[in-house]
A = this chain, B = another copy of it.
Amino acid sequence: MSSEKKEAGGLSTTNALNDSPFMRACRREPVPYTPVWLMRQAGRYMREYREVRARTSFLELCKTPELAAEVTVYAAGKLNVDAAIIFADILLIIEPMGLDLEFARGEGPVIHNPVRGGHDVERLREVEDVGALDYVYEAIRQTRRALPSGLPLIGFCGAPFTLASYIVEGGASKNYVHTKRMMYDDAGAWHAMMSLISRALSRYLNAQIAAGAQAVQLFDSWVGCLSPDDYREYVLPHTRSVIENVTTGTPVIHFGTGTAALLELMREAGGDVIGLDWRVRLDEAWRRLGDVAVMGNFDPIALFASPDHIRRQAQKILTQAGGRPGHIFNLGHGIIPDTPVENVIALVEAVHELSARQVSST
């Protein structure tokens, strides 16, 4: 026992990280229990996060590495999850493109100079040097130093379509009228904008990896508003180019919501792990996807139900995963404010316990 401990302690941090359940699952290797982390695990549902936010605006928090690292590390420890994800926002990258971003209190993001056509695309700045986002890399370095040596840290970005939808709409949207009109009627400008965004994203992800992230995730949160044909024509080549240009050897998680009819196309665009939302059955989705890891897919709203229901629901998902190597447990989308924190903790415990039992019984 003591020699084992010594041996483990003697492993380099790199090896401890590489051998973690999360990294093993990304590579579809067997794990002693199903690794779990939760999108938006550091967020408003958590009292300690709200205390930090009471003193700081959202953008200030993102841009202050000490604070971003603090909330990242705190949430991972409090929940006992198997990966941390750097606290940041998908829209930070649009500032160096020349877009004027503001988070109005309680209103979500506002972009004061949205892009509506070719003329606007011309004024977008190529993000040659992603140094403008040094605060993100510094937060990653500080987080990496503060995290337990075997706990992987995930970097991330918005996927090209989701970012484009904010850039064109000027904020969140219900119907994506401006975005789709530009796609359909000004395809040249659309593709030019998507290419510029995609080049910036690859550089941004690689800088996060260089700073210490073990894996990266693309969030295509709003891509589910598209038809499969539109996805193929207007989105897939760009997402693929981002993923192809990520530093070799770093697992890429490719996540979207409302993607029940897009899964094969997302797979074609790339990623070592495909993120699923709860609106598909995990077993059927994984069968359609074939040889790739999957992440998901607990309904975040089920976290408002009783711990009994949460446990049964976690078991259902683990049963659908069937012990097949390559499952990372997660929600189907981020934790929403007002979610009871004790239920989140109960979910993580249930996943660990039930999946370890599943492994030992097979």
Contacts and interface: CB of A to CB of B under 8 A. Distances in A.
Interface of A: 175-177, 180-181, 184-185, 224-230, 258, 260-261, 278-281, 284, 299-302, 304-306, 309, 316, 336, 338
Contact of A279 (B226, B299, B301): B226
Contacts of A304: 177, 180-181
A48 to B, nearest CB: 23
A229 B184 contact: no
Given A180-B305, A181-B304, A281 B261 contact: yes
A319 to B, nearest CB: 11
A144 to B, nearest CB: 33
A163 to B, nearest CB: 19
B279 A184 contact: no
B279 A180 contact: no
Contact of A309 (B185, B224, B316): B185
Nearest to A261: B260
Contact of A184 (B227, B228, B306, B316): B306
A225 B243 CA distance: 29
Contact of A176 (B230, B260, B301): B301
B299 A180 contact: yes
Specify how many copies of this chain sit in the oligomer.
Answer: 2
Given A180-B299, A184-B306, A305-B185, A258 B229 contact: no
B261 A228 contact: no
A228 B305 contact: no
B226 A301 contact: no
27 contacts: A175-B300, A176-B301, A177-B304, A177-B336, A180-B299, A180-B302, A180-B304, A181-B301, A184-B302, A184-B305, A184-B306, A185-B305, A185-B306, A185-B309, A224-B279, A225-B279, A227-B278, A227-B281, A227-B299, A228-B280, A228-B281, A229-B281, A230-B299, A258-B279, A260-B279, A261-B279, A261-B284
A301 B229 contact: no
Contacts of A258: 224, 258, 279
Contacts of A184: 302, 305-306, 309
A316 B229 contact: yes
Interface hub of A185, A260, A284 (most chain B Cβ within 10 A): A260
A180 B278 CA distance: 13
A300 B316 CA distance: 36
Contacts of A228: 279-281
Given A180-B301, A180-B305, A184-B309, 12 more contacts: A175-B301, A175-B336, A176-B301, A177-B304, A181-B301, A184-B302, A184-B305, A185-B306, A227-B281, A228-B279, A260-B261, A261-B280
